[in-house]
């Protein structure tokens, strides 16, 4: 055996090494290709299928929540507005603000519709929470912010590419486009005011605002988590509009 090895031509030995290397590289390319193909299929089709199945159930859950939700009506005084001190100062009575009880964590409590976007024309359920698990259902509400239709800045986050990609077409939104959010107290109508792109750490976009606002955040650009596309929309109609706008 040893004797035979010693007689092998060095050129032939070198060629054998090259062939083995090329074969190894070929097989590795095939396996890496299959891995990446599986990744793309998983992200684009499997996650979307799962999210759509989930969303159908969550929309039913949200509709059931609308029937059972409890709310109270309170007089709304805009922050910073002066109290009635002069007895001669008679103001017209303002409509009361409807305040619904907060939903439980992970519960579907609202439905978002954007008539100008195909993907959100029929609506998408919103769950309470923005954890990774919550967002696998599509759209989540940041619990530390007000509920939609309430004064302040209500913040939602949603997927752009995977898990049904409910916010896929958000780059097509323009000022003046309408966003509807249905909750237990009615349909709140918002109008898009501004769209900006920020870094994922710019939490100022979630801060409180005067009036009633909706802030929607999603990944940007498509197929990347590098930045955030942020849409600001202001309340222009719905059960609480009269109370908030004064």
> Which chain residues interact with another protein by CB under 8 A?
38-39, 42-43, 47, 130, 132, 135-136, 140, 142, 155, 157-163, 165, 167, 198, 200-203, 205-206, 217-219, 223-225, 228-230
With respect to another protein, which residue has the nearer C-beta, 97 or 127?
Answer: 127
Say how many CA atoms lie within 13 Å of 84 toward its Cβ: 8
DSSP string, 45-63: IIHHHHHHHHHHHHHHHHH
Q: How far is the CB of 57 from another protein (least distance, A)?
A: 19
Answer whether the bond into residue 221 is a cis peptide, omega within 30°. Answer: yes
With respect to another protein, which residue has the nearer C-beta, 98 or 159?
Answer: 159
Q: How far is the CB of 120 from another protein (least distance, A)?
A: 14
With respect to another protein, which residue has the nearer C-beta, 164 or 238?
Answer: 164
Reading the block at residue 122, the tokens are 């029929």
Q: Is residue 166 within 8 Å of residue 160, measured between CB atoms? A: no
Please state, in angstroms and rounded to a whole number, the distance separating the CA atoms of residues 13 and 128: 66
Query: Exposure pattern of 121-139 as b/e (b: 16+ CB <10 Å)?
Result: eebbbbbbbbeeebbbbbb
Q: How far is the CB of 112 from another protein (least distance, A)?
A: 13
Q: How far is the CB of 148 from another protein (least distance, A)?
A: 17
With respect to another protein, which residue has the nearer C-beta, 49 or 101?
Answer: 49
Q: How far is the CB of 42 from another protein (least distance, A)?
A: 4
């Amino acid at each position: 055996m040893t004797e035979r090895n010693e007689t092998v031509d060095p050129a032939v030995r070198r060629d054998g090494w090259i062939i083995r290397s090329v074969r190894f590289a070929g097989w590795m390319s095939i396996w890496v290709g299959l891995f990446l193909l599986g990744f793309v299929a998983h992200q684009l089709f499997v996650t979307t299928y799962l999210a759509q199945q989930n969303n159908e159930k969550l929309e039913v859950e949200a509709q059931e929540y609308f029937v059972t939700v409890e709310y109270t009506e309170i007089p709304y005084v805009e922050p910073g507005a002066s109290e009635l001190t002069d007895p001669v100062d008679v103001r017209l009575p303002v409509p009361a603000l409807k305040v619904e009880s907060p939903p439980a964590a992970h519960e579907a409590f609202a439905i978002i519709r954007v008539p100008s976007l195909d993907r959100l024309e029929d609506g998408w359920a919103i769950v309470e929470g923005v954890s990774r698990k919550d967002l696998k259902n599509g759209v989540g509400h940041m619990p530390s912010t007000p509920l939609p239709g309430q004064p302040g800045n209500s913040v939602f986050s949603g997927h752009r590419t995977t898990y049904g990609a409910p916010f896929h077409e958000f780059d097509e939104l323009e000022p003046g486009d309408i966003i509807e959010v249905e909750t237990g107290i009615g349909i709140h109508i918002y109008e898009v005011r501004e769209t900006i792109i920020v870094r994922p750490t710019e939490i100022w976009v979630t801060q409180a605002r005067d009036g009633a606002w909706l802030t929607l955040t999603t990944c940007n650009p498509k197929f990347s988590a590098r930045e955030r596309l942020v849409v600001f929309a202001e309340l222009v109609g719905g059960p609480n509009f009269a109370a908030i706008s004064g």
